[in-house]
A and B are shown apart, each in its own frame.
Chain A
Amino acid sequence: MIAGAWLCLLAPLAGALLITLAGTHLSRAAAGWISTLSVFVGFAGALVAFLQVAGESADERSHTSTAYTWLAAGKFQVAMQILVDPVSLTMMLIITGVGGLIVWYSMGYMKGEDEERRYFAYMALFVFSMLMLVMGGNLLLLLVGWGLVGLASYLLIGFYHDRPEAIAAAKKAFLMNAIGDAAMALGFFLLIAKTGSLDFSTAFDAASSGQLSPNTANLVALGLLGGAVAKSAQLPLHTWLPDAMEGPTPVSALIHAATMVTAGVYLIVRTHAIFEAAPNVQHLSAIIGGVTIVVAGLIALVQWDIKRVIAYSTMSQIGYMFLAAGIGAYGYAMFHLLTHAFFKALLFLAAGVIIHHLAGEQDVRKMGGLRKVMPYTHAVFLVGALALAGIPPLSGFWSKDGIIASALAEGGVLGYTLLVLGLLGGFLTGAYTFRLYYLVFHGEPSELVLEHAGGHMHEAERAHGHGEHAHGEGPLSMLAPVGVLAVLAAIGGLIVIPGLWEPFLTWIDGVAEPLVTASVTQDYATSAAAVALAGIGIWLARWAFVAGRELVPASALRTVFEHKFYFDEIYDALFSRPAQLVANRLRDDVEVPVVQRSLGEIGTGVKEAAGGTARLQSGLLRSYALVIAGSVFVLMVVFVAVR
């Protein structure tokens, strides 16, 4: 079992190294295969480990395996160890499973692109980094994985390095993540100062037994929350996620939907002991999640780029996960993470099929009527959209409603506020998702669609063969993973049916006991309300589409939403401009006059001093004789005086 876990961790790394070292000796297709297979081998390892752990009783499910002592500085020691327990196994399966499907998909999507091998190496690197993050046996290894996924994200967002927008987006993502990393590091420093170690057990025991003073616990939890907020693109560190859509679509699916952005949720669940020792911070994370749900949903209502709508949707859904983790419903947080991975990856990949088919077009205003042209894609996209909106019996319904029910069960001001935000979010989700659906698939086919449609009027269930879009909706490597994900999105939620069968919740509970459990009544009550609201949202979207109107009629509101609540502008004015000013000032007042000129000044100064000294050499012999005589006199005086 441990061998399976190590295999899971190291296989993608091996794949990445192999592709990197082989360079151009590998063919492009071979690079794709190596990358995909390495991730699937990792999945096999994770599966083996899972099957073994599932057979154990709840108490024994936590395993640590240490390879060697990595860092030893006095009393502070950090080992290279992995932790295999239900939470990490869930993440491992998602990462390698969904990740494997996405990398397989990329083989078709990225075919023929520039520098394909680099892409596949980066994807394998990312999978390894994410696995390191979730399997790390102590906080420092978690941080290592954290930083590496940030790096992989930067590399992959900026993959099309010829485009300045892509490079700017990559920089933005990295910088905002760095803010979070710094907060986390500060929290870790405090933890080392107070407990002397970064091991999970030491830190969590100290937190739960009250060893940490409230202030310390608050600060550490705040640091962790800062990192989580940055990585998961929650308010206020969210502005990088829409820009990250500059990367290739499979990257958006893997990193910015299924895995990396959920790392924040994983962090909170993993370190829940620290958060429980700092309840204010935990509630803060719930509030952040709640607010993000609504804000992101509102912005998604007016976006025209298909990927950006899905990106804001991601932001919103992760808000749900933060909400759950913030009130202590860890099981539901992980459950929503799981189902979200399925349907969000599905939506992104389906969007990718469309974009690939339309030769790179992403503006939905140019799409329309794709229902007839791409029936397979239409079917899977509909499944994903319904799952996202939370329509039973698809997966999103089970997970999202569990969260909303937990909010109701929490009660109090916090609980009821979160309940309202969650229900509102449900309404908005239905609205923006189906606005997108109708704009893309319904109505008359647009010009662009007709252009690309010529030649594939035959409606095949599955497109056959690989090849250009002239032969079908897309190659097999693209359509097959999408199909698998659609199945998962449809039935994946059935592992938690409240009141009847809750194996997944029990699975997670062993690691993180929930602080709040909803009763069955509450569950079904909120479910009804949520589904009703989602239905209203969907109906509203359909009505607006059919009537040819905008969903957000008030133009002032629409402008605010379109500008994403002016967050970018505010940050630019608050941080970017002053920093630029300071930098310019320093350059003009310090760098140029002092540093640069001083170099010139040194030269001129030396020349002038030399010139001055040269005037002593007058060439006049008599003056030399005078000086010599004078020196003799001085020496004589010295000799006499010294005696």
Chain B
Amino acid sequence: MGNVLVWIIWVVAAFACVSTGIAVISFTNPFYSALALIGNLASLAVLFLLASAEFVAAAQILVYAGAVMVMFLFVIAYLGGRADAPWAGGPRWLQLGAFVVGAAILIEVIVALATKASGGLSSDAEISRSFGSPAEIGKLFLTDHLLAFEITSIVLLVAAVGGVVLGMKTLAEDEA
């Protein structure tokens, strides 16, 4: 029973994932695309939960869907009409190439999985109850992966500074 439930939820979430993904790249209006992406993120969070990654799922909703997408929506709103861009265009081969490459990568992944990745994905390991819990993540961040933690914070700092600089009104611009 539990298994069936999990399966059903999983299928629904996966389906939502893929369809919202397709929706993101097909809408003309960027606002709709951004909203579709929020849906995508939410379904991904469900999938994370099903994979016992609770903290990551929470972070996904809070940070990604909550902050990043909101920022996106702000900018799209600010841009208003100017955000409308032609859907596609340009060289034919480029458009064709886009689909080809996307399909190629997809097929390649499926093929790799179908061949069972040479037996790499045969057996799932057992996990403990605290797998994916914030305590676990915190412990690792502050011990094994301390460097990654610190560098990530520096990256965020740099991005913040960069964002401010990009958004600054320069003197030349003022005159213009």
Contacts and interface: CB of A to CB of B under 8 A. Distances in A.
- Chain A in direct contact with chain B (Cβ < 8 angstroms): yes
A640 B101 contact: no
10 contacts: A620-B90, A620-B91, A622-B98, A623-B94, A630-B97, A636-B105, A637-B108, A640-B111, A640-B115, A643-B118
A626 interface: yes
Interface string B95-109: 001100100110011
A408 B36 CA distance: 129
A622 B108 contact: no
Which 3 residue pairs are nearest across A and B when measured between Cβ atoms?
A: A629-B101, A626-B97, A633-B104
Nearest to B102: A629
Nearest to A640: B112
Given A620-B90, A640-B112, A626 B105 contact: no
Nearest to A623: B94
A182 interface: no
A633 B111 CA distance: 13
A623 B105 CA distance: 17
A632 B105 contact: yes
B108 A633 contact: yes
A497 B155 CA distance: 120
Contacts of A626: 94, 97-98, 101
Interface string B65-107: 0000000000000000000000000110010011001001100
Contacts of A643: 118
Interface of A: 620, 622-623, 626, 629-630, 632-633, 636-637, 640, 643
Q: What's the dominant secondary structure at chain B's contact region?
A: helix
B113 to A, nearest CB: 10
Contacts of A633: 101, 104-105, 108
A620 B98 CA distance: 14
A630 B113 CA distance: 20
Contacts of A632: 105
Contacts of B90: 620, 622
A287 B90 CA distance: 95
B94 A622 contact: yes
Nearest to B105: A633
A636 to B, nearest CB: 5
B104 to A, nearest CB: 5
A630 B108 contact: no
Given A626-B97, A629-B105, 11 more contacts: A620-B90, A620-B91, A622-B94, A623-B91, A626-B94, A626-B98, A629-B101, A633-B105, A636-B108, A640-B108, A640-B115
A3 to B, nearest CB: 93
A640 B111 CA distance: 9
B146 to A, nearest CB: 30
A630 B103 CA distance: 11
Contacts of A623: 91, 94
B105 to A, nearest CB: 5
